[in-house]
Amino acid sequence: MNSTEVAELNGKRVVVAGGTTGVGRATAKILADQGCRVFVCGRDPKALGDAIDEINSSGGDAGGVSADLGSTEGVLELFAAADEWLGGLDIAILNAGLGSHGPLVEMDHEECRKVVHVNLLSYISCALESIKRMKGTGGQIVMTGSMSAEIFDEQASVYVATKAGVRGFAYSLRKEANLLGIRVSVIEPGSIGTDMVDESLEQQRVMQEDLKMLKAEDIARGILFILSQPERCDVITMQVRPRLQII
Nearest residue to 40 via CA among 173, 239, 27, 87: 27
Please report the pLDDT score of residue 196 as a whole number.
67
Domain annotation covers residue 37: yes
Q: Which residue has the higher pLDDT, 133 or 6?
A: 133
Domain annotation covers residue 119: yes
- Report the sign of the C-alpha dihedral through residues 206, 211, 213, 219, in that order: positive
Please report the pLDDT score of residue 100 as a whole number.
83
Domain annotation covers residue 6: no
Helix axes 109-116, 157-177, angle to 10 degrees: 30
Q: In whole angstroms, what is the distance from residue 211 CA to residue 120 CA? A: 29
Domain annotation covers residue 245: no
Q: In whole angstroms, what is the distance from residue 27 CA to residue 237 CA? A: 17
Domain annotation covers residue 155: yes
* Average pLDDT, integer, range 58-66: 96
Distances (CA, A) of 240 to 90, 139, 158, 243, 246: 25, 23, 22, 9, 12
Distances (CA, A) of 29 to 39, 110, 138, 171, 190: 11, 34, 23, 27, 21
- Between CA 148 and CA 158, with CA 154 as vertex, the angle to 5 degrees is 65
* Average pLDDT, integer, range 102-106: 90
State pTM to two decimals: 0.92
Q: In whole angstroms, what is the distance from residue 225 CA to residue 104 CA? A: 37
**End-to-end Cα, the chain, rounded Å:** 39
* Average pLDDT, integer, range 45-59: 96
Length of the chain: 247
CATH code where residue 144 lies: 3.40.50.720
Tens digits of residue pLDDT in 115-134 = 999 999 999 999 999 999 99
Tens digits of residue pLDDT in 9-36 = 999 999 999 999 999 999 999 999 999 9
Q: Is 101 helix (H, G, I), strand (E, B) or coil?
A: coil
Please report the pLDDT score of residue 121 as a whole number.
97
Residue 5 pLDDT grade (very low, low, confident, very high; cuts 50, 70, 90): confident
Strands 91-94 and 192-193: unpaired
Residue 4 pLDDT grade (very low, low, confident, very high; cuts 50, 70, 90): low
Q: Hey, what amino acid is at 96? A: A
pLDDT of 244 > 70? The answer is: yes
pLDDT of 104 > 90? The answer is: yes
Q: Which residues form the domain of 84?
A: 13-240
* Average pLDDT, integer, range 59-64: 97
For the chain, the average pLDDT equals 93
Tens digits of residue pLDDT in 161-212 = 999 999 999 999 999 999 999 999 999 998 887 776 777 788 889 888 889 8
pLDDT of 215 > 60? The answer is: yes
Please report the pLDDT score of residue 192 as a whole number.
81
> How many structural domains are present in the chain?
1
pLDDT of 236 > 60? The answer is: yes
